Amino acid sequence: MSGKAAAASFIHLQVEDVQAILNHPELSLGINGCSLKTEDNLKVLATIPPERLLLETDAPYCDIRPTHASYAHVKTTFPCVKKPEKWLEGMQVKGRNEPCNIVQVAEVVDSVIGVRCSQIALRNALTLFPKLV
């Protein structure tokens, strides 16, 4: 990171509030599928300093869907069943976001920003939540 102090807390990114949030250096921004729906959302993502990013799934909600602009940046997909009662080990239920989908958020962030921001976001998370180590 740059010589700046690490953020003391984080909030879920609401795209319309990003400039106001960036004025508070103590806040990190949590990025999930709901933050990445439109091309405008991806443009906003590109303006966020990597040292302020945290990745999240917000499971079981906020998945990256094929209708989202960010879906074009997703490389990893997982097999799904259509109904919860048809669930099998190693498969997801369609329409339900799972923690393993964090990789998709990382893929989008890395692709849009053009550097390994997912690595930086992991370091940011470990700084904000030191007991995870």
CA distances from 111 to 2, 22, 92, 114, 129 (A): 22, 21, 24, 5, 26
Strands of the sheet containing 27-31, edge to edge, are 9-12, 27-31, 53-55
pTM for this structure?
0.84
Residues near 17 by beta carbon (within 8 Å), at least 6 away in sequence: none
- pLDDT tens digits along 60-85: 989 999 999 999 999 999 999 998 88
- pLDDT tens digits along 85-130: 888 888 899 888 999 999 999 999 999 988 787 788 888 888 888 8
